[in-house]
Amino acid sequence: MVCAIAAITPTCGLTVPFENARRAYYADKTWPEELRRNYTSPTQALLRIPYEEGPYYLFRGALPIVANQWMFWTTYLTLYTWLKNKNFHFWVYQDFSYEYMKVLHMGFSFGVASSVAYPFYYIREMVDLWPKERGGHCTFNNNYRQCMKWMVENMDLHGYNYLTNYWSWVRRYGFYYLGGLWMADSMGMMSNCNETFNGLEVQFPIFSESS
C-alpha cells in the first residue's frame, strides 16, 4: 500500500486535462452555433484550450477525477500485489497456470477498486447534470467537495445510485487499466523483488511472509 500511494499520489492528476478536453469537445456541440468553439476532436480541444481559455481551464473541477484516480489505483495495485503474495503457492506447488491466476487476481482487484473509486468520478455528473431542487436550490451548493461529503454521509441510502453508468466507465477505461497492469506484471514491476533467486516463485512458504 505504501508503494502504491507513493506512486499514485504525484500522478493521479495527470488525466484531468484529457478528461476536461473530452468534456469540452462534446459540450461544445450542445451550444448554439454562434457560441461554439467548433472543436474537431478532443485532441484539438486539448491543444486549443490553453491558448483560448487559459491553461487553468484544463484543470477546473479536478477534485472528482483526482479522487477517482487515487482511490482506484491505490486499491487496484495494493489488492493485486497482496493477492499475488498470498497465493503464490497455486502456481509454484499446485500446478495452476500463472496466467490463469493472474486473470483471477486482476479481475477481483479491478472489480473492488472500480466499485470503490467510481462514485468519486460520478460526483461530476451529480453536480453538473442532476436536476436542481424546487426554486433552483442545490443540495451540494454547486460544489464538488460538498457533494463528496454528502455522498459519503448518505452512502447507506444511495450507494447503488452512485454506480449509475458504471459500465460506460468500464468500457471507456477498463481495458486500458487491465492491459496496463498485465504488462507491468509481465515486466516484473509488480513483484516484491526482481532477482529471480529471491522471487516469490522460488521462496519457501515459511519465508514468503517476510520477504
Report whether pLDDT(56) > 50: yes
pLDDT at residue 79, rounded to an integer:
92
Dihedral (Cα; 80, 81, 87, 90), 10-degree rounding:
80
157-197, pLDDT tens digit by residue?
Answer: 777 788 888 898 898 888 899 999 999 888 878 876 545 55
Most confident option among 76-80, 131-135, 148-152: 76-80
Q: Which residues contact 119 (CB under 8 A, 6 or more apart)?
A: 151, 159, 162, 163
Give 42: exposed, middle or buried? Use CB within 10 Å, 0-12, 13-18, 19+: middle
pLDDT at residue 29, rounded to an integer:
85
Model's pTM, two decimal places?
Answer: 0.77
Dump the DSSP string for 145-183: HHHHHHHHHTHHHHGGGGGTTHHHHIIIIIHHHHHHHHH
9-54, pLDDT tens digit by residue?
Answer: 888 888 888 888 888 898 888 888 888 888 888 888 888 988 888 8
pLDDT at residue 211, rounded to an integer:
47
Q: Which residues contact 87 (CB under 8 A, 6 or more apart)?
A: 101, 105
Cα(148)–Cα(120) distance, integer angstroms: 7
pLDDT at residue 27, rounded to an integer:
86
